[in-house]
Structure formats: C-alpha cells, structure tokens
C-alpha cells in the first residue's frame, strides 16, 4: 500500500491544538498547600522532591491525579457512577491541560487470603483458560481451575412467574476448583487446647487461661460453672466425652444463671467469635500474644497448600498441572509457556507470554503466581501494578508514581529509571514523587516543595533542572550530593543470635550468626531472601517467645498500613491522649471522658467528627464544617475547661514540637505526655499536629509513627523494614542518629535496607544474593561495611564503593 506524499509546505503558524502543552495548576490549597501555582510540561519526566510532609503527594495525587480521575468518572452515566468511588473536586482555583491519569501508588494490595499475584494481574485467568482448553483429562470450564469458585450442585422445583406462573423442575451443577477442606485459602487453622485451659485444674480453680477469663465474677466463667452442663469442681482431664464436647464445642444454648437468661456456648466457638474474628493489628498486645500462641496455621492436608480441588490438580499439560505452574518462579513459567506450540490458543499464549515477560522485565521474575498478594512489600505491589501498563499502546497519558524505587537495590534502580524514561519517550507525561538522587538525576524538570513539613511546607522552593536544583541552596539541593562515611570504629558485639538451616521461601539452608548489641544491616537485591531470613527465622524464632539471647524478644516495625478511621490521629494512636485527658480532668475536677471527641465530650451535632458529611449518591459527597462546634469537635461546655491557659481543641491543634514544650513545664507539666511527645520528635515527626487524621499521613510518616510507639516496648532486638522509605535525604541523618541511640541504650537493631547511607553507617552487614528468587537465598558476604567495599565481591559491594567514592 502506497503512502500519500505530503506536498503542502509546513505552516509556520502554531496550530491551536498545540497550545495545550502544559498542565497548569493555580491556587492549590489541598491539605497543607499554600495557594500553590505551578506549570508542568507534558510529555516530560517531572520529579517532585521535598522533605516528608512538604506537600508532594497533596499536589501530585490529591490535586492533579484526583481531578483527572474525577473528570473521567463524570463522563460515565449516573448509573455507572453509582458503582464507582466518589471523588470531591480538589481545593484549587484553576487546573488546565489535564490528561488521563494512571496512578501507580504504593497502596498495599488487599490482604484477602484468596488474593494472589496471579489473581491480581490476570495471569491466573489466562492460565485457567489455557488449562480448560489443553489440559488432559478435560474437567470443565475455566471456573473448574479457580480456587475461588466452589463446586455447586442443586436440584428442586422453581416457580417461573411469566404470564401464568408454573412450577418446573430444575437441576443445576457448577464445577469449581476450590479445595473443599480449606475453601481456597491453602491453610487450615488449628487451636492449641493447652493454651486455652490447664486440664489439671477444675473451672472453680481457674482452669481457663484465656486472657480476661478470671474466676472472680467474670460472666463468661460463671456461665460455664453454673450452667448445669459441667461440674465446676471436677478437673478437666476427668471430664467424660460428653462433658468435654459441651465444654469445648456445644452450640449456643439458652440457660438461666441466677434467674437471668443467658446463652451458653462452647469455649472454642466463643473464642473464634470474640478473638479470631477481629483484626490482629487492632488487638491489645496481650490479646495478640495469646492469639499468636493459641492459633497455628498449617498447610491444608487435602490440597497440600495449593488451594485447588483434586480434579483441578489432576488435569495436566505436558505433565504440568495448574498448581505446578502457579508455584513456578515466574521467569521459569515464562520459559515453559514459550515452549508451548498450540495454534488453537496462539492469541492467548501471546498475551500470557507478554504478561510474564513484563514481570521479568520489571524485576519481579523471582515471584510466583501463587504468592499471596498481602505478603508483597509496598515497592513490589507498586511494580505489580505497573505490569499492565508496560506493553500499553496508549500515549499522551499522565503516569503518576509514588517513590517507584522503594524496596529496590541500587542495582535495580537503573532498570526502573529505564522504564520511566521509556514511558516518557512513548509520548506520556510522567510525574514522580521521589527522594532517591539516582532518580532525581534523570528528571527533565524538578519541582522542590517545602521549605519544611506540615504547616511549614506547601510552597514551591525551586523549579527547574537538576543542575539548577544543586545550585539553588534549597534543603534538597544542599543534600543532593550527601554521602555518608564509614565509622572510624565499629561497635563490638555483646553476643550472637544463631540462625541454623533457614529454608523459608528461597533460602538455601542458610546458617548465619547475627551479632547482638550492634547495628546490623541485612541487604541484597529485591527478592534475594532478606525478609525471609529476618522475619521467617528471627521474628518467628526463639527471641520472639522471650527466651532468646536478646532477652525480652523481638520488636518488629514493618511497612504494614496503620489501621484507623478518620477519627484516629497521632494522639489516639500513640496513647498520648490518655495522660492529656487525665491532666485536663484533674485540673478541672471533671471526668476524663469529657475530653474525648469520641465519647462524652463530643459535639452532639457532628458526633465529634468536626464536619458533617452529606451523601449525594453517585456524586461526590460534601463535607461541611460543623456550625455548632466550628470544627473543634467538642461541646461548648467542654471548651470552658482549661489547662495551662489552653482548651482541649487548642492542644490537639498544636504541633508535636509545640506540645512538647507546653507539657514539659509550668502548670500543664505532664511527664507521661512529655515522654511520648519526645519520642515522636525523635523520629522526625515534630511538625505533625496532634489531631491530624491518620488517613492524611504519608507512608513514611506512618512507619515512623509506628516506630515511635514501639520504642516503649521492652524488646531486646528491634527489626526495622526499610525505615528510610519516604524519608528526605536530610532526614536520613536524623534516622541514623536515632538508630545509634537505640543501640547505645543496649538494644540490638537489625535493619533490612537498600539505602547506601544506612549500609555505610552499619557495624555489620549481612548481604544476600547473588540474585533474586532461586538465584538468591545464600549469604554472599558477612562483615563490616569497609570490608564489603574492599572486597567488591558482590553487587552491593560495588554500589557501596561507588557511593562512598572508594
């Protein structure tokens, strides 16, 4: 086919459509943004920098990306909009030149036990179709290979009301792939009865050892002892079979105790409802410890942990079943799929091949499709979400990334940078929130926000090139070329923690001695086995039970999200509000509950929320400041009570730094509150206001809030999972100081980390590798950072040497 030759001369006049090459933001006021205005070039890579809490996410995600998504949602019919998330218009005067925004954030994937890497990326759906077409013996449709679909059989009479109603007999069957024993979860739970009761005692002697089940008048225990089913003075080991069944498993039964109608229920169903149905993270520490002791999860004996029914496991393609395919490392699975030559399913094989190759290209070839999605780190989850966009033919799209280098070894960052540039070169606008100098360096344009965090941020400090940023004198510019140096002398260990024969996930029978009393950094490329070693062998090992050489056990601060509603804030999460309420109550002679916006002191009009939410169905709901309390959340009478000249709403509006000074001296002196505030300041959260909703905190802020809370625990070993996540270059130094203080106070600190500054500052490094997945899982280096650089025997050693300029 011939192509028409263009003969008309190129017009020098700019076409009207070409005048929209900028995204214009004017007067942005979302969260802490201060009437901010910025113009961003389309089809370029723009990196947003600034300290944690300076307003980067507020500008990129909550303003630009949120408005783009809202406008796209409005193009659908109101019926369809009713099924979509409702988005309010951001606080901004002008937003022009927006294109379709695709957000690739670090929100952890749902931790539903039936959600896996395969189900989250559609790879499982394609494999199910493949096996339903080619698998031998043929067992049914794609649903027959789905562990989320149970097999159903039904028959009976149904009434069809069409004209004259008539009754017809129907039979219905559906073949699903779900294992009937574990219901597609792959694991079954078992309750350790020895943790529930002491069978040598009777109920009257306090045989039940469940927390809270005391013999001094506890209603649950009284129901057991006075129900008439059991002899309260008989040791449990002497129970008959019927008595033991009534004690442990009896169905809910109405009984009368002292003339009061109550419900008697066996101990195991009662515990399942009261403890096991709750979110583990929301439990009090002593309840969580009990649940961890009493409940064990083991691989389902019927399906061997594959989640699939026997029929689904029996259908094979070339000797490989769908369970085997999902258990393969994705790089190996891609090779297996490439070897299938079947013209009848050629389009399906091509699409599946492209998806699996994208995993490998993005550095996730070490995963398997049956990996539960809730176990992925924030960085891994973000890269899994990127997969569907890599082969996309769309152009002129705005891609928005939230720290895409999180969880990546310096060796892998180069690959991520290449992917970002490839998206840009296809004609897309790429907006990246990032702290790592390696990614800032590839930007076409840099927007530096600040100058501080929280109320001190929200302004543009610098706009321009990377070279311009270096010379700008802003906080980011000054720290861009920061390089940590080795310590002159490293600390001497006070002992060792022995790990022998570790085989969790991809670990290859690893033996390692972790020194105690020093700062240990565990590093290696993504997927090399760092988390498997630390969490699989250490956090679940002997120290966790309090019997290890470290003494009081392991305190783990991971990257999991903080659970809490918009009523939760730093004051409630850290327990700070309790001493504050008591101090107010004591000073004014009233009850502490008055000073809680979730209790007696709440404004009756907004129920203590400070705002009134109006639901407008498929349109964005409206939140208006409560007119009665003016957003202060408390009744007017509560605000008449003062402590040190401030009412409770003024205290909650204070920043951590202000509050630390306020509660440190004078009439308001409250040592318990001052201690908690000191820890918050130590982890670099001095700018947060006490009443700021947890839902507005960034990922890095949430992790540091958790660290501040855990610093009170009496653990001998602290395990931190990439604590530099979301930290500005200038804040890394403060974090290193905090880690030093923890070690100097007698703790052992083990950090899983990729940041070279933390590696250089370590007393001891354990490097895993040499690669990821089945190419990793081995210790490739143990020793001091200086020895690692001198040897240059690993990828980590090479990159650390380049970092410190050795």
465: which residues sit within 8 A by CB, 6+ positions away?
Answer: 443, 445, 446
Answer whether 268's CB lies under 8 Å from 284's CB.
Answer: no
| DSSP secondary structure letter of residue 338 | H
Least confident of 27-31, 383-387, 438-442, 515-519: 383-387
Average pLDDT, the chain: 87
List the structure tokens of 129. 């179709």
Least confident of 372-376, 531-535, 797-801: 372-376
The residue ranking higher by pLDDT, 565 or 342, is 342
User: Does the reported pTM lie above 0.85?
Assistant: no
The residue ranking higher by pLDDT, 81 or 377, is 81
Per-residue confidence (pLDDT) for residue 110, from 0 to 100: 64
Q: What is the rounded (10 degree) CA torsion for 414, 418, 421, 425?
A: 160
Per-residue confidence (pLDDT) for residue 563, from 0 to 100: 67
DSSP string, 413-479: HHHHHHHHHHHHHTT-EEEEE---HHHHTT-SEEEEEESSSGGG--EEEEEE-HHHHHTT-SHHHHH
The residue ranking higher by pLDDT, 277 or 751, is 751
Quickly state the pLDDT bin for 806 (edges 50, 70, 90).
low
DSSP string, 642-657: -BTTB-HHHHHTSBHH
Q: What would the mean pLDDT of 106-123 be, rounded to a whole number?
A: 81
Give the strand pairing for 166-174 and 152-160: antiparallel
Residue 571 half-sphere exposure toward CB, CA atoms < 13 A: 28
Is the per-residue pLDDT at 350 higher than 90?
Answer: yes
Per-residue confidence (pLDDT) for residue 617, from 0 to 100: 64
Answer whether 401's CB lies under 8 Å from 106's CB.
Answer: no
Q: What angle do helix axes 410-425 and 378-390 make, rounded to 10 degrees?
A: 30
- How does pLDDT run across 664-686, given as a tens digit for each residue? 988 999 999 999 999 998 888 88
Candidates 20, 13, 102; CA nearest to 60 is: 102
Is the per-residue pLDDT at 387 higher than 60?
Answer: yes
Intra-chain end-to-end CA distance of the chain, in Å:
60
- Cβ–Cβ contacts within 10 Å for residue 125, how many? 15
Helix (H) / strand (E) element for 265: namely none
Q: Report the C-alpha gap between 447 and 460 in whole angstroms.
A: 7
Per-residue confidence (pLDDT) for residue 547, from 0 to 100: 31
Per-residue confidence (pLDDT) for residue 277, from 0 to 100: 62
Phi first, then psi, for residue 279 (nearest 5°) are -70, 130
- How does pLDDT run across 517-549, given as a tens digit for each residue? 999 999 999 889 998 899 887 755 433 323 333
Residue that has been written with the tokens 């705002």 in this structure? 611
Q: Report the C-alpha gap between 163 and 152 in whole angstroms.
A: 30
| DSSP secondary structure letter of residue 50 | -
Is the per-residue pLDDT at 730 higher than 70?
Answer: yes
- How does pLDDT run across 30-84, given as a tens digit for each residue? 988 999 999 999 999 999 999 888 999 999 999 999 999 999 988 999 888 888 8
Q: Report the C-alpha gap between 292 and 271 in whole angstroms.
A: 13
DSSP string, 301-325: TTTTTS-B-HHHHH-EETTEEHHHH
Specify the 3-state DSSP secondary structure of 96. strand
Per-residue confidence (pLDDT) for residue 765, from 0 to 100: 97
Is the per-residue pLDDT at 207 higher than 50?
Answer: yes
Candidates 521, 568, 542, 503; CA nearest to 781 is: 521
Sequence length of the chain is 806
Answer whether 55's CB lies under 8 Å from 32's CB.
Answer: yes
Least confident of 205-219, 300-314, 639-653, 765-779: 205-219
The residue ranking higher by pLDDT, 318 or 161, is 318
Per-residue confidence (pLDDT) for residue 733, from 0 to 100: 87
Per-residue confidence (pLDDT) for residue 583, from 0 to 100: 95
Is the per-residue pLDDT at 621 higher than 60?
Answer: yes
- How does pLDDT run across 469-478, given as a tens digit for each residue? 999 999 999 9
- Cβ–Cβ contacts within 10 Å for residue 361, how many? 17
The residue ranking higher by pLDDT, 675 or 615, is 675
Q: What would the mean pLDDT of 609-636 be, rounded to a whole number?
A: 83
Residue that has been written with the tokens 């980590």 in this structure? 796
- Cβ–Cβ contacts within 10 Å for residue 175, how many? 19
List the structure tokens of 741. 């203080």
Quickly state the pLDDT bin for 109 (edges 50, 70, 90).
confident
Per-residue confidence (pLDDT) for residue 476, from 0 to 100: 94
Specify the 3-state DSSP secondary structure of 724. coil
Which alpha helices (DSSP H) does 484-592 contain, by range? 530-531, 570-573, 577-588
Ramachandran area for residue 59 (φ above 0: left; ψ -120 to 50: alpha; else beta): alpha
Is the per-residue pLDDT at 156 higher than 50?
Answer: yes
Specify the 3-state DSSP secondary structure of 98. coil
Is the per-residue pLDDT at 342 higher than 80?
Answer: yes
- From the CA atom positions of the chain, what is the Rg in Å? 30
Q: Report the C-alpha gap between 220 and 214 in whole angstroms.
A: 9
Ramachandran area for residue 10 (φ above 0: left; ψ -120 to 50: alpha; else beta): beta
Give the strand pairing for 94-96 and 22-28: antiparallel
Answer whether 294's CB lies under 8 Å from 196's CB.
Answer: yes
Is the per-residue pLDDT at 707 higher than 70?
Answer: yes
Is the per-residue pLDDT at 411 higher than 90?
Answer: no
Q: What would the mean pLDDT of 449-472 be, rounded to a whole number?
A: 93
What percent of the chain has a predicted confidence (pLDDT) above 90?
A: 51
Is the per-residue pLDDT at 550 higher than 50?
Answer: no
List the structure tokens of 620. 């964005």
Quickly state the pLDDT bin for 1 (edges 50, 70, 90).
very low
Per-residue confidence (pLDDT) for residue 281, from 0 to 100: 56
Per-residue confidence (pLDDT) for residue 445, from 0 to 100: 98
Ramachandran area for residue 535 (φ above 0: left; ψ -120 to 50: alpha; else beta): alpha
């Amino acid at each position: 086919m011939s192509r028409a030759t263009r003969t008309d001369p190129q017009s020098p006049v700019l076409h009207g459509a070409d005048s929209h090459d900028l995204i214009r933001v004017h007067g942005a006021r979302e969260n802490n943004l201060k009437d901010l205005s910025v113009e961003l070039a389309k089809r370029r890579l723009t990196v947003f920098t600034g300290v944690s809490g300076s307003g980067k996410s507020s500008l990129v995600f909550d303003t630009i990306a949120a408005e783009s998504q809202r406008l796209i949602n409005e193009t659908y019919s109101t019926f369809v909009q009713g099924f979509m998330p409702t988005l309010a218009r951001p606080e901004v005067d002008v937003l022009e030149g927006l294109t379709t925004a695709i957000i690739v954030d670090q929100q952890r994937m749902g931790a539903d036990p039936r959600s896996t890497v395969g189900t989250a990326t559609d790879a499982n759906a394609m494999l199910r179709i493949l096996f339903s077409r080619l698998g031998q013996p043929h067992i049914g449709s794609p649903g027959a290979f789905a562990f989320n679909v149970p097999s159903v059989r039904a028959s009976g009479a149904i009434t069809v009301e069409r004209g004259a109603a008539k009754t017809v007999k129907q039979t219905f069957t559906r073949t699903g792939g779900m294992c009937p024993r574990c219901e597609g979860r792959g694991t079954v739970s078992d309750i350790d009865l020895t943790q529930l009761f002491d069978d040598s005692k009777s109920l009257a002697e306090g045989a039940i050892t469940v927390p809270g089940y005391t013999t001094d008048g506890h209603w649950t225990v009284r129901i057991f002892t006075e129900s008439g089913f059991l002899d309260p003075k008989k040791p449990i080991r002497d129970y008959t079979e019927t008595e033991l069944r009534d004690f442990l498993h009896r169905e809910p039964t109405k009984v009368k105790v002292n003339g009061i109608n109550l419900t008697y229920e066996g101990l195991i169903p009662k515990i399942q409802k009261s403890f096991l149905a709750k979110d583990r993270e929301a439990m009090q520490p002593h309840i969580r410890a009990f649940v961890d002791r009493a409940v064990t999860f083991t691989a389902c004996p019927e399906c061997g942990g594959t989640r699939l029914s026997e029929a689904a496991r029996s259908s094979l393609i070339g000797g490989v079943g769908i369970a085997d395919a999902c258990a393969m490392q994705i790089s190996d699975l891609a090779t297996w799929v490439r070897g299938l030559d079947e013209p009848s399913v050629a389009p399906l094989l091509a699409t599946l091949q492209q998806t699996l190759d994208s995993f490998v290209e993005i550095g996730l070839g070490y995963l398997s499709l049956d990996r539960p999605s809730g176990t992925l780190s924030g960085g891994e989850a973000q890269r899994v979400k990127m997969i569907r966009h890599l082969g996309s033919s769309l152009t002129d799209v705005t891609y928005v990334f939230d720290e895409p280098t999180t969880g990546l070894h310096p060796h892998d960052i180069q690959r991520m940078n290449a992917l970002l540039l490839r998206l840009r070169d296809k004609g897309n606008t790429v907006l990246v929130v990032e702290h790592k100098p390696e990614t800032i360096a590839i930007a076409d344009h840099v927007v530096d926000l600040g100058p501080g965090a929280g109320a001190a941020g929200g302004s543009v400090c610098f706009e321009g090139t990377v070279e311009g940023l270096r010379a700008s004198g802003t906080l980011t510019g000054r720290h861009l070329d920061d390089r940590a140096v080795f310590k002159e002398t490293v600390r001497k260990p006070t002992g060792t923690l022995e790990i022998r024969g570790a085989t969790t996930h991809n670990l290859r029978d690893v033996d390692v001695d972790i020194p105690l009393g020093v700062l240990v950094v565990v590093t290696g490329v993504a997927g090399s086995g760092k988390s498997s070693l630390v969490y699989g062998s250490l956090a679940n090992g002997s120290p966790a039970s309090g019997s290890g050489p470290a003494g009081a056990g392991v305190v783990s601060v991971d990257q999991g999200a903080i659970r809490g509603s918009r009523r939760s804030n730093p004051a409630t999460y850290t327990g700070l509000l309790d001493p504050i309420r008591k101090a107010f109550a004591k000073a004014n002679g009233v009850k502490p509950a008055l000073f809680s916006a979730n209790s007696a002191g709440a404004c009756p009009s907004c129920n203590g929320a400070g705002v009134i939410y109006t639901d407008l169905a498929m349109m964005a709901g409206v939140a208006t400041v409560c007119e009665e309390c003016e957003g202060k959340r408390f009744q007017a009478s509560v605000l008449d009570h003062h402590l040190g000249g401030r009412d409770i709403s003024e205290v909650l509006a204070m920043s951590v730094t202000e509050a630390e000074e306020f509660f440190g001296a004078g009439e308001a002196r409250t040592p318990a509150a001052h201690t908690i505030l000191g820890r918050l300041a130590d982890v670099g959260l001095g700018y947060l206001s006490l009443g700021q909703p947890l839902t507005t905190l960034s990922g890095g802020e949430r992790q540091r809030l958790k660290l501040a809370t855990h610093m009170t625990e009496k653990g001998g070993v602290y395990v931190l999972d990439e604590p530099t996540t979301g930290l500005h270059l200038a804040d890394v130094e403060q974090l290193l100081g905090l880690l030093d203080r923890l070690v100097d106070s007698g703790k052992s600190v083990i950090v899983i980390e990729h940041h070279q500054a933390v590696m250089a500052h370590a007393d001891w490094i354990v490097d895993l590798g040499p690669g990821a997945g089945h190419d990793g899982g081995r210790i490739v280096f143990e020793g001091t950072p200086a020895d690692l650089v001198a040897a240059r025997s690993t990828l980590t050693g090479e990159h650390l040497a380049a970092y410190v300029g050795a």
